[in-house]
Amino acid sequence: MRAHACNHASYTSTGHTIQENFAQLLILEATGDPSLVEYTTYEGPFNFFRGDGQFTSKNFPNDADTTSIGLTVCDCMSEVAKHRVMDELLTLRNSDGVLQVYFDASRPRIDPIVCVNVLTLFHTHGRGDELVETFDWVERVLEHRAYVDGTRYYEPAEAFLYFMSRLLAVSPSARARLGPLFVARCRERYGAPGDALALAMRIICFNQEGIDPAVDLERLYALQEADGGWSDGWFYKYGSNGVLIANRGFTTALAINAIVGSRKQGETVGARAHAVNKNGIVHADEGLEERSRLLDEQH
């Protein structure tokens, strides 16, 4: 991660690099290290892109998703300013009370993961009761598994569960209402197909809920590359054309967190588990201890 500090660019399934804020903010949250990322700071709502829109409208509108992650993760805005932006977010609700994605009335889009991220922001700041209809919709999505084939803007089923885990981690009321169903939905993903990002997200959910991740953890190790990172991970997508977006830095950061979280749970990973040292890939317990030391240095 440090070797590519401030160069963890996202890329598309069509072979293009894009400069955006969203993955940078998520890497910051996953690592706690602002030296690894570059993102634009705002005094109001955030934009997905750094600069003009890329491979879409040049004047791309600010969005609720990046705004919610930004306000949750970074400290670039005062509490007063954050609550002002949250008041603006409330104006994005549609006639059903479900919060929409864009600060642009001409783009009436909804996505359950975006709603989960907004709910996390509001619950973090004690304002969750202001989005009752949005919460109800998200609960129905979880209940009816409406995320398993992805959502409008997100590719893997695990993205919904991962962001839901963030909500449950900060909101006792959300956990009381959704916790048992969330655990059941997590268990349904055990051993399911998935790339490195999906596996990492899944394992992080398992770790949080006390589910044994051994099978999926072994698969995640098997996808580790020679330099210690993980490349697989189609994460989100352009809603208009379905072009996928990935970020190797984000996938690697979550894979690290999944592994460290599993070790903190006391899980064992078996003789075939791999670990990274400064020279590349090494094996077994000695390598795992070295990996843990290097991870501590990263954070």
Measured CA angle at 210 (ends 207, 212), to 5 deg:
80
Q: Is the pLDDT reported for residue 111 higher than 60?
A: yes
Q: Is residue 217 part of a domain?
A: no
Q: Is residue 54 part of a domain?
A: yes
DSSP 172-227: HHHHHHHHHHHHHHHHHTTT----HHHHHHHHHHHHHHT---HHHHHHHHHT--TT
Q: Is residue 107 part of a domain?
A: yes
Ramachandran sector of residue 145 (left: φ over 0; alpha: ψ -120 to 50; beta: rest): left
Contacts with 246 (C-beta within 8 Å, 6 or more apart), sequence order: 10, 11, 12, 13, 197, 231, 232, 233, 234, 235
Q: Is residue 261 part of a domain?
A: no
For the segment 165-178, the average pLDDT, to the nearest whole number, is: 98
Q: Is the pLDDT reported for residue 125 higher than 70?
A: yes
Q: Is residue 103 part of a domain?
A: yes
The answer to whether the CB of 6 falls within 8 A of the CB of 32 is no
Q: Is residue 22 part of a domain?
A: yes
Q: Is the pLDDT reported for residue 149 higher than 50?
A: yes
For the segment 101-129, the average pLDDT, to the nearest whole number, is: 97
Least confident of 21-30, 35-44, 151-160, 285-294: 285-294
How many domains, the chain?
A: 1
For the segment 227-239, the average pLDDT, to the nearest whole number, is: 90
For the segment 185-212, the average pLDDT, to the nearest whole number, is: 97
Contacts with 269 (C-beta within 8 Å, 6 or more apart), sequence order: 214, 217, 218, 221, 259, 262, 263, 288
For the segment 116-145, the average pLDDT, to the nearest whole number, is: 98
Contacts with 76 (C-beta within 8 Å, 6 or more apart), sequence order: 41, 42, 70
Among 141, 197, 198, 193, CA closest to 167:
141
Q: Is residue 195 part of a domain?
A: no
Give 57 or 34, the one with higher predicted confidence: 34
225 by Cβ neighbours in 10 Å (0-12 / 13-18 / 19+) ranks as: middle
Q: Is the pLDDT reported for residue 185 higher than 60?
A: yes
Q: Is residue 29 part of a domain?
A: yes
* pLDDT confidence of residue 101: 98
The answer to whether the CB of 198 falls within 8 A of the CB of 224 is no
* pLDDT band per the 50, 70, 90 thresholds, residue 265: confident
Chain mean pLDDT for the chain: 88
* pLDDT confidence of residue 274: 42
The parent domain of residue 47 ranges over 2-171+232-247+274-298
Percentage above 90 pLDDT, the chain: 77
